[in-house]
C-alpha cells in the first residue's frame, strides 16, 4: 500500500494524472494522447458563473459541461469572496481548476460571488475581460428556495429553526434585513458589477426558462462564450419523476442530485403579496439594467 501511495505521489509531482483523475464528471475517459499532451494543464477560468444562489447555477454548469470546449470546475471555489481562500493566492486558485486544453474554456461557479462586496473588483484585477454568467429566477421563489436549503441543513444537524413566516414577519412589517431577502435584490448587486465590467461581459440567463426550455437558453450561452453550437435536443430529456429536464450524452444519463427540486413550504397569501410589492421596484430597476423583462410574481 505504501509503495502504491508513493507511486501516486511521484506521478502527481511529474504532472502525470491517474486514470480516475482524467475522467470528467460524466465518467468519460479522455484519450491517452490528450492526457500525455503538454498542452493539457490547469488554467485560470475565462468565464465564471457568479450567481445567483438558488437560481439554477448547478444546472447551468452541468449543461455547460456537456460541451467539449468547456472544462468545468465542479466544486464551488469561493476564491474571490472568502478571505481565507483569497489570501492563498492565484496559484492556489489555479490548482482548483480542472485540466484543460488551449481550445477549451475553463468555467467555475460560485453563487456567493454575486452578492459579495469584494468579488467584482477582485475578479476584474485578475482578468478584466472575464465573461460573467448570471442566472436569475423570480426573487420570491429564489428566497423560498434559499430558506428551504437552510431549513434542510438545520434539520439534518438537529438544530432549532423558525418557519419562514416567523423570520419574515416583524409585526405587520416585512423583515427586509433577512439575508435571503437581500440576496434577491438583483439590481443592488448588479450595480456593483457594472462598476467594473461592461454590460456586454455579463450574460443573464433566465432560470425559469432554463428549466422549461433548456436548449433555447443554452444556445444563447454558447453564443456568449464564443463556443461552437453543440448542444441539441438529444442532450435533454424530461424526467417525469423529478419534474424537470435531465441530461444525456454518449449513452450516459444524469440528473441533478436530490437537493434540487425539494418541496417548498407554502406562503401565506398576504405575506406573498407583501414580498411581491417589496421586490417590484427592485425588479423594475433590474429589468432596466439588463434590457429585458421577466415574468416574476
Query: Is there a contact between 221 and 205 (Cβ–Cβ < 8 Å)?
Result: yes
pLDDT in tens, 110-141: 999 999 999 999 999 999 999 999 999 999 99
pLDDT in tens, 176-228: 999 999 999 999 999 999 999 999 999 999 999 999 999 999 999 999 999 99
User: 185: domain range?
Assistant: 22-28+37-290
- Residue 23: pLDDT band with limits 50, 70, 90: very low
Position 11 in a domain = no
Cell digits of residue 35: 492526457
Position 16 in a domain = no
Task: Please name every residue paired with 44 in a beta bridge, in sequence order, or none if there are none.
Answer: none
CATH number of the domain that residue 158 is part of: 3.40.50.300
- Residue 52: pLDDT band with limits 50, 70, 90: very high
User: Comparing C-alpha atoms, which of 252, 284, 220 is closest to residue 60?
Assistant: 220
**Count of C-beta atoms within a 10 Å radius of residue 281:** 10
Position 13 in a domain = no
pTM of the shown model: 0.84
pLDDT in tens, 58-76: 999 999 999 999 999 989 9
Query: Structural domain tally of the chain?
Result: 1
Position 8 in a domain = no
Where would I find the H helices in the chain?
A: 2-13, 32-36, 57-65, 83-86, 89-95, 119-126, 139-156, 164-168, 179-183, 186-194, 207-212, 214-225, 269-290
Position 60 in a domain = yes
Position 296 in a domain = no
What is the separation of C-alpha 108 from the centre of its chain, rounded to a whole number of angstroms? 8
Amino acid at each position: 500500500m505504501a509503495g502504491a501511495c508513493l507511486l501516486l505521489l511521484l506521478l502527481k509531482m511529474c504532472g502525470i494524472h491517474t486514470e480516475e483523475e482524467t475522467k470528467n464528471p460524466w465518467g468519460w475517459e479522455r484519450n491517452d494522447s490528450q492526457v500525455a499532451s503538454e498542452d493539457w494543464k490547469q488554467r485560470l477560468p475565462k468565464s465564471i458563473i457568479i450567481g445567483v444562489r438558488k437560481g439554477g447555477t448547478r444546472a447551468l454548469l452541468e449543461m455547460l459541461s456537456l460541451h467539449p470546449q468547456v472544462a468545468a470546475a465542479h466544486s464551488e471555489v469561493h476564491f474571490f469572496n472568502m478571505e481565507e481562500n483569497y489570501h492563498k493566492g492565484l496559484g492556489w486558485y489555479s490548482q482548483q481548476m480542472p485540466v484543460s486544453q488551449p481550445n477549451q474554456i475553463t468555467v467555475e461557479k460560485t453563487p456567493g460571488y454575486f452578492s459579495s462586496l469584494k468579488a467584482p473588483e477582485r475578479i476584474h484585477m485578475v482578468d478584466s475581460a472575464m465573461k460573467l454568467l448570471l442566472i436569475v429566477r423570480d426573487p420570491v421563489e429564489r428566497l423560498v428556495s434559499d430558506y428551504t436549503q437552510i431549513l434542510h441543513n438545520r434539520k439534518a444537524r438537529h438544530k432549532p429553526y423558525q418557519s419562514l413566516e416567523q423570520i419574515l414577519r416583524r409585526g405587520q412589517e416585512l423583515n427586509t434585513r433577512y439575508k435571503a431577502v437581500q440576496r434577491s435584490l438583483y439590481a443592488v448587486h448588479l450595480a456593483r458589477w457594472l462598476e467594473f465590467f461592461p454590460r456586454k461581459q455579463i450574460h443573464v440567463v433566465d432560470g425559469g426558462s432554463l428549466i422549461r426550455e433548456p436548449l433555447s437558453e443554452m444556445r444563447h450561452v454558447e453564443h456568449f462564450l464564443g463556443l461552437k453550437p453543440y448542444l441539441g435536443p438529444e442532450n435533454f430529456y424530461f424526467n417525469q419523476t423529478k419534474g424537470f429536464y435531465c441530461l444525456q450524452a454518449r449513452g450516459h444519463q444524469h440528473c441533478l442530485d436530490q437537493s434540487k427540486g425539494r418541496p417548498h413550504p407554502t406562503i401565506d397569501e398576504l405575506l406573498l403579496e407583501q414580498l411581491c410589492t417589496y421586490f417590484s421596484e427592485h425588479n423594475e430597476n433590474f429589468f432596466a439594467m439588463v434590457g429585458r423583462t421577466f415574468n416574476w410574481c
